[in-house]
Chain A
């Protein structure tokens, strides 16, 4: 059981229409890509675990639009959306999920382990909480090298129960490091509702225990997500120390691909679906005259075309030769 979804936002969107269209397009791109991923999983083109972000798109699309190219990004195993919005090509993501050597990690990581040096994505991480200490260290490296950048670390509400969360929050606050802790609270740690895994369900209170400013945002509202992240990011970059942002969101699909969803009621899922982030944002923009139906259809068509292209790319990809299995286990001496 979770709380009922909050009422839909109604306030005006004070964004440049082109920026609004870009953020909307990013959400649609994630949705269309992942819908296809689910189909491809059924066709056994994608194997292993596949954790879909569907329902949570406003968080990645809104929050990552507040990052600079120099910023670092550390993500979880539900990170397809983050990789895509951050600028990694859909081709590279899809090829990785196919296990092709044209994928970002040469097919070694798959869905849960997207890496991209160019966009400073330091990995999807399948260890819950595993990315948080890494983000602290990346921020420490930036500070010691006098770079003005932040390290954005995404993690779920489940990670809040891990020791790594508390150790990382303490270290970042103690050393006033530029870490942006982005908690995607989808209200379930796999199948365990937050009230069943947290003694204190107000996650912002945990940040205050470390003297860290915290803000809670409606994660289904991309406008609120972006504006809150923008404000937090500026503060962090200005040397104000780390910040904690909690995005209240909801996963519409199953946890991974083998999940009978015994732990939550259909009514609850339906109630949250009515707060779908793409639909809500689209309607709001239309009501304000910032978007026409034709423009929306064009965004959707472009996303579908991008997905078709990415799938074709992955289909025509090649397997890494078995002879190079041991490649990149260790680096060349002197070439770290």
Chain B
């Protein structure tokens, strides 16, 4: 089983996609000569040429919209947006166009487009490079939202995303790029299901993306204190795989949702609402959340750390549900 980084896994996925289908091309800010802001596309320009690894101006609305148009015109574009904060400049193309064209055209025009972007905090790059808006995007019908949290998913999610006839937004957590793990060959990923990352019996910890390593660390600490936690990686934020979450909650009867988004109107809120609607009588304790503090993510390390979900907060939330005391 080859071992590689999340970054290398994404690059292999891109290389494979570009080699497999002449309709596929990569477009975005500094994806070519620079090699990608996070060095994901390094070397691909030399391999596939400037037509298919296409540097764009700093025009998020323009080039994401052009990706929509190219998809309508028969291509299978992969558009990279440098970071999720910048994608807000392209909201019109994503939300007002890509997401609704198929439905509003009465089924005439689909937009088979993949948009990749970095998300999340933890690198002291301050508020305009650190937010987590994937929960916002997960609000919108017509989009599929995926968030690889493991190297295997980073390697395997692009192919099914490109095979999807509709727009897929792929959120890469910026703190995961250097994560190194083994990856099975061939790497086949089911883009519809959440995944149990650690089985357990006493409390369910639901998370996704960059919070998965923190949540697994929290589960490990809980184990050391005799609490057996199950960790679920949502992987797909829209449409949500409720069945996997509900099955776990039915077993453990307690749930903590860990989400780097802000608490109000968050994806965590949605997950808990669904558990309340469909699994209320399975619960032995009120559902809990560990989210980011409701402030712009600050620069100074101690403030940034305080603003984000951390293993100790996850541990404390889980212990509280079990009535455990320190």
Contact = CB atoms under 8 A, between A and B. Distances in A.
B109 A122 contact: yes
A142 B226 CA distance: 62
Interface string A35-53: 0000000000000000000
B323 interface: no
Contact of A331 (B25, B75, B166): B166
B108 to A, nearest CB: 5
B109 A106 contact: no
B196 interface: no
A163 B97 CA distance: 16
Contacts of A141: 69-75
Given A138-B69, A141-B72, A145-B75, A105 B105 contact: yes
Contact of B92 (A122, A127, A168): A127
A206 to B, nearest CB: 15
Interface stretch (A57-65, A112-120, A266-274, A291-299): A112-120
A132 B65 contact: yes
Interface string B94-135: 001100011111111110100000000000000000000000
Interface string B5-29: 0000000000000000001010000
A330 B72 CA distance: 15
Interface residues of B, number: 45
B104 A137 contact: no
A220 B141 CA distance: 42
Interface stretch (B55-63, B210-218, B285-293): B55-63
Contacts of A163: 61
A328 B141 CA distance: 11
Contact of A167 (B59, B69, B71, B73): B59
Contacts of A333: 163-165
Query: What's the interface size class on A, roughly?
Result: 35 or more
B69 A137 contact: yes
B227 interface: no
30 contacts: A104-B108, A105-B105, A115-B106, A127-B92, A130-B93, A133-B62, A133-B65, A133-B66, A133-B69, A133-B93, A135-B69, A136-B66, A137-B66, A138-B69, A140-B75, A141-B72, A164-B92, A167-B65, A168-B62, A170-B62, A171-B62, A328-B102, A329-B141, A330-B142, A332-B165, A333-B163, A335-B165, A336-B110, A336-B112, A336-B165
Given A145-B74, A167-B63, A329-B142, 9 more contacts: A113-B105, A133-B68, A136-B62, A138-B73, A139-B69, A141-B74, A145-B73, A328-B106, A330-B102
Interface of B: 23, 25, 51, 56-57, 59, 61-77, 92-93, 96-97, 101-110, 112, 141-142, 144, 163-166
